[in-house]
Structure 1
Amino acid sequence: MNDCHGTSVNDHAPGYHADKEAYVRRLRRIEGQVRGLQRMLEDDTYCIDVLTQVSAVKRALEAVSLGLVEDHVRHCVRDAATDGSPAVIDEKLTEVLTAVKRLM
């Protein structure tokens, strides 16, 4: 696995490092929401109520994704722009644009 600089993760912390615990908490909360969805289906909960919860899980995951993109831009892309060669800067910009396209 690579860090922001394309080297081993052990060499540099990833862009989300400062917020890692918050991301983990949010993902655990989302995991609980997904388990709740499973229970709703097992309990034959009304369709619209299940869909409402699916929408909430989707929004929660999107918030995590957007936070990670922002951390990547503010840490990894900024570092490349400050310290990197034009090729490294282009690589980081391509990474972030690919990630945004994947999320859309």
Structure 2
Amino acid sequence: MTNKFAREIARMRRIEGQARGIIRMMQDERYCIDILQQLAAMEAALRAARMKVLNIHAKTCVEEVITSQDKAEQSEKLSELIALFEKMGR
């Protein structure tokens, strides 16, 4: 069985490499604009990863609870999603 997060793990490893690169840029006292551009690129990559994980969650966990017909579990998953979106909106 394949890990449902395999692609996102690879993406996070690339982001980790970006973070190390930014640290090196800071240590080398590179031009601030260059550092800021790399930070923006890393933030965009993190947003993409977050959205992909949310998509995976919707297609697995949420879909599973919807088809289960368990009203309590459905309510719990909905509450989790609402709390997540509230947090993401801050």
Partner of 2:55: 70
1:100 to 70, 85, 89: 85
- Distance in 2 of aligned mates of 1:54 and 1:25: 19
Q: Please list the CA deviations of residues 33-75 of structure 1 after superposition, one character each: whole Å capped at 9, or x if unmatched.
A: 0000000001111111100000111111111111111111111
- Distance in 2 of aligned mates of 1:46 and 1:91: 48
1:91 correspondence with 2:45: no
TM-score (norm 2): 0.88
Structure 2 spans left out of the alignment, 5+ residues: none
Partner of 1:82: 67
SS for the counterpart of 1:19 is: coil
| Structure ranking higher in helix proportion | 2
The Cα shift of 1:19 comes to: 3.3
Partner of 2:9: 24
TM-score (norm 1): 0.77
Structure 1 spans left out of the alignment, 5+ residues: 1-16
Partner of 2:25: 40
Contact 1:69 1:100 in 2 (8 A): no
Contact 1:72 1:96 in 2 (8 A): no
Paired residues, number: 88
CA RMSD of aligned residues (A): 1.4
